[in-house]
């Protein structure tokens, strides 16, 4: 995998099936534009945080559920070309007029693959995360993240991805940088862990947290501003 377009959206709980159908209707167009995989994952275990959390990232209102979503592309050039088509294709404009959520609060951005561990098996449950990492610690973070990915895989994860902020725009209402209160010297890392099921994930987490390899030898990011949560895929094409 070479490039990721990541999204976080707040969707009214009552619109779950409407949202899934809307995403499914758009999926063939995204594939035509170059997307190799499109995942929409519905919030299931999304905790409140003291400083940051997924709900605050998109200013979720009462009755709304967080959706963690991503597109995979072979490279940034394909992604950039796809975005031009998405913005100009009349079929996409028609779908945009029927969005079952407040698009003004959607956060999105482009991320370059840093770690991609595991096989081709698709997961039945997703742990999604956002991290603010200093620019100067990219290499050290990548080496540590690769070790952590190996631990997750040993405990049952089928895939672990961490992608480095590359084309992450500022937003008028919400954006990825604001989500984790990133400074000018930090980049946002968009990551996820795919599990066969929530049961496997719940069993694995205590063992993962008890493994000394997940603890970095130096401080690589401000964990207080890390955002995380569990999600159930409702579309994976």
Q: Give per-residue pLDDT as tens, 121-171.
A: 899 999 999 999 999 999 999 999 999 999 999 999 999 999 999 999 999
We report the CATH number of the domain holding residue 163 as 3.30.70.100
Which residues form the domain of 94?
3-236
3-state SS record for the chain: CCEEEEEEEEEEHHHHHHHHHHHHHHHHHHHHHCCCEEEEEEEEECCCCCCCCHHHHCCCCCCEEEEEEEEEECCHHHHHHHHHHHHHCHHHHHHHCCCCCCHHHCEEEEEEEEEEEECCCCCCEEEEEEEEEEHHHHHHHHHHHHHHHHHHHHCCCCEEEEEEEEECCCCCCCCHHHHCCCCCCEEEEEEEEEECCHHHHHHHHHHHHCCHHHCCCCCCCCHHHCEEEEEEEEEEC
pTM score, two decimals? Answer: 0.96
Mean pLDDT of 3-18: 98
Please give the tally of structural domains in the chain: 1
Tens of pLDDT, residue by residue over 51-88, are 999 999 999 999 999 999 999 999 999 999 999 998 89
């Amino acid at each position: 995998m070479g490039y990721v377009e990541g999204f976080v959206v707040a969707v009214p709980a009552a619109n779950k099936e409407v949202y899934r159908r809307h995403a499914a209707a758009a999926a063939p167009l995204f594939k035509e534009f170059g997307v190799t995989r499109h995942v929409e994952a519905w919030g299931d275990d999304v905790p409140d945080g003291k400083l940051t959390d997924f709900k605050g990232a998109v200013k979720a209102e009462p009755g709304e559920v967080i959706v963690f979503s991503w597109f995979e592309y072979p490279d940034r050039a394909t992604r950039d070309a796809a975005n031009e088509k998405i913005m100009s294709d009349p079929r996409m404009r028609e779908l945009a007029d029927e969005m079952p959520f407040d698009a003004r609060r959607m956060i999105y951005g482009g991320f370059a693959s840093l770690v991609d561990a595991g096989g081709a098996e698709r997961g039945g449950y997703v742990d999604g995360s956002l991290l603010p990492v200093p620019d100067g610690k990219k290499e050290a973070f990548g080496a540590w993240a690769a070790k952590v990915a190996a631990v997750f895989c040993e405990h049952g994860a089928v895939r672990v991805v961490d992608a480095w902020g590359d084309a992450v725009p500022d937003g008028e209402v919400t954006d990825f940088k604001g989500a984790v209160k990133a400074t000018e010297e930090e980049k946002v890392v968009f990551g996820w862990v795919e599990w066969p099921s929530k049961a496997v994930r719940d069993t694995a987490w205590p063992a993962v947290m008890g493994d000394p390899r997940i603890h970095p030898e130096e401080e690589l990011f401000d964990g207080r501003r890390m955002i995380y949560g569990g999600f159930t895929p409702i579309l994976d094409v």
